[in-house]
């Protein structure tokens, strides 16, 4: 975790490029896996537009800019709690990770940094981590059930919304450097790292391949 925080701070553009690879390569995989529930229901693309628009709005207004995980206020505590509850839903959301959701909310680096500070015996960060943990617990016992219900009863609409979230998250990743403690410019073509982007894609397709192999073994 300490290494992760340092790497994220010092190599933000490389890490952001890798996250772009993760997401861009995950989108076609989700579409291929869910093509039967998406096919012929193209009116549900409105849910993709809503999902993408929501993520972009969150990134633009960046509520996390006013969150100081080392000096918690009631408002920031509520925001961290909600983000923890939402981020854990990635357990049941195809193609999107908890890390990506935290990037969208602008809390990925603050939470990782808070863990680093706590491990260095800086207990001023403990309240934020406690609130985040409570949010995760609430998300597990409540929001995940809601997501599963949506996937069972409204799968097409939910998948379209997830694809929209993934598309919108590309904007959040590009804007990620602006959320650092010492803000940097948003990622551009000049700061984009093609090698790390490809690495992200390779990891995603590798994980997908491993999953396919394991599923075949279970069928036997």
Domain limits of the chain? 2-219
Encode burial over 167-185: b for 16+ CB neighbours within 10 A, e otherwise: bbbbbbbbbbbbbeeeeee
> What percent of the chain is modeled with pLDDT above 70?
91
Mean pLDDT across 12-36: 90
- The encoded tokens of residue 143 equal 């929001």
Q: Name residues whose C-beta falls within 8 Å of residue 126's C-beta, 6 or more positions apart in sequence.
A: 118
Distance of CA 2 to the CA centre of its chain: 20
Average pLDDT, the chain: 85
CA dihedral 20→51→101→145, nearest 10 degrees, is -140
pTM above 0.85, yes or no: no
For residue range 130-171, list pLDDT tens digits in order. 999 999 998 888 888 888 888 889 999 999 999 999 999 899
59 vs 79, higher pLDDT: 79
Confidence of residue 20 (pLDDT cuts 50, 70, 90): very high
Asked if 93 and 166 touch (Cβ cutoff 8 Å), the reply is: no
Looking at residue 63, what is its pLDDT?
A: 76
Looking at residue 4, what is its pLDDT?
A: 57
Distance CA 138, CA 14 (A): 33
Distance CA 130, CA 110 (A): 14
For residue range 30-47, list pLDDT tens digits in order. 899 898 999 889 899 999
């Amino acid at each position: 975790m300490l290494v992760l925080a340092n790497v994220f701070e010092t190599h933000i553009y490389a890490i952001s490029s890798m996250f772009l690879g993760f997401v861009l390569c995950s989108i076609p995989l989700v579409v291929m896996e869910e093509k039967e529930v998406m096919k012929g229901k193209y009116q549900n693309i409105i849910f993709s537009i809503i999902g993408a628009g929501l993520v972009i709005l969150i990134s633009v207004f960046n509520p996390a800019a006013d969150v100081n995980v080392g000096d918690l206020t009631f408002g920031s505590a509520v925001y961290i709690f909600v983000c923890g509850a939402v981020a854990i839903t990635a357990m049941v959301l195809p193609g999107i990770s908890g890390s990506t959701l935290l990037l969208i909310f602008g809390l990925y680096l603050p939470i990782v940094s808070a863990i680093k500070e706590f491990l260095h015996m800086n207990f001023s960060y403990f309240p934020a981590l406690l609130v985040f943990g409570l949010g995760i617990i609430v998300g597990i016992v409540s929001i995940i059930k809601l997501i599963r219900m949506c996937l069972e009863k409204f799968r097409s609409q939910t998948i379209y919304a997830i694809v929209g979230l993934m598309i919108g998250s590309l904007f959040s990743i590009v804007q990620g450097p602006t959320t650092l403690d010492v803000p940097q410019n948003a990622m551009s073509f000049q700061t984009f790292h093609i090698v790390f982007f490809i690495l992200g894609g390779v990891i995603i397709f590798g994980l997908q391949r491993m999953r396919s192999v394991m599923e075949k073994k279970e069928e036997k």
